[in-house]
Amino acid sequence: MCCSSCAPPLLKLPTGGGLPASDGADALRDALKACQAVSTITAEIAASGSVGGRRLSVRLHAGLAKPASVRLEAIAPFGQPVFIFVARDDDATLLLPRDRRVLDHGQPAAVLEAVAGVPLDPADLRTALTGCAVAPRANDAKQLGEDWRIVPDRAGDVYLHREARTSPWRLVAAVHQEPGATAWRSEYRDFQRGGAADGLPAIVRLTSVNNRQFDLRLTLSQVELNGPLDADVFRIQTPQGTEPIALDELKRSGPLSNPSSGK
């Protein structure tokens, strides 16, 4: 098992008001060119950390497609998956094959939060995994020193950084503060060089800001981009005899918050 205290420290992000950045649009274009080219992505994800203060370690098979489709399977060493989660737009299904339970027609962000602590819908999950931005306002970009730019994005900010003047800009962190929701941040490391995933992060960290709701480290491998994903990928055939499970019950016993789920 792996715990959040074993993870590297969070990035120290620059603070202060900053100055208007005349190159904000150029920096943003450089930082987002790789992720904005992604229409579909499949990957294996090694997830470790904690949810609700409880440790977890699990391997996921993931497939995501624009505009808002996702499939996640939590793979066990033997036998059936721990869970299968699919969502398209505002409709999600979660199947627990081992327990023969299913949640149908849920709100994707609410179901994923119950499972893994992270309140993300399919589009936001794709954005988080590829290190992208949703609706950045380049005209409002701020400069903090030579190598940092901060750009407002929806209800938060994205942080752009470059190692040197000749290095590419990277989106290395984002702070998310949606009204009425848990504030959280995402961080990105180990950007790929060369190949189909050039410019995309290999390590993604998602952590709540002011509490212990979640702290997850996601390591992506076997990444494939822009391949065909049929609509059937984002559907589940519920086996006969499967019983329904309510969202409240799932919150109390979500498969990823169970310490035994990684065994």
Reply yes or no on whether the pLDDT at 160 is more than 90. yes
Residue of 57 and 93 predicted with greater confidence: 93
Supply the DSSP string of 195-231, one letter for each residue: STTTT-EEEEEEEESSSSSEEEEEEEEEEEES----G
Q: Which candidate, 162, 168, 139, 163, places its Cα nearest to that of 151?
A: 139
- pLDDT mean over 13-32: 95
Alpha-carbon distance 223 to 142, whole Å? 33
14 has pLDDT over 70: yes
Q: Is the CATH code 2.50.20.10 the one for domain 19-249?
A: yes
Instruction: Break the chain into its structural domains and give their ranges.
Output: 19-249
pLDDT at 3 over 50: no
pLDDT tens across 166-212, in order?
A: 999 999 999 998 887 778 999 999 999 888 889 999 999 999 987 77
Query: Residue 255 — very low, low, confident or very high, per pLDDT cuts 50/70/90?
Result: low
Neighbouring C-beta atoms of residue 138, cutoff 10 Å? 17
6 confidence band (pLDDT: 50, 70, 90): low
Token match 């002011």: residue? 210
The predicted model gives 131-139 an average pLDDT of 96
Question: What's the pLDDT score for residue 65?
Answer: 98
Given a cut of 60, whether residue 2 has pLDDT beyond it is no
* 67 or 178: which leads in pLDDT: 67
**Model confidence, pTM:** 0.90
CB-based contact 65:40 (threshold 8 Å): yes
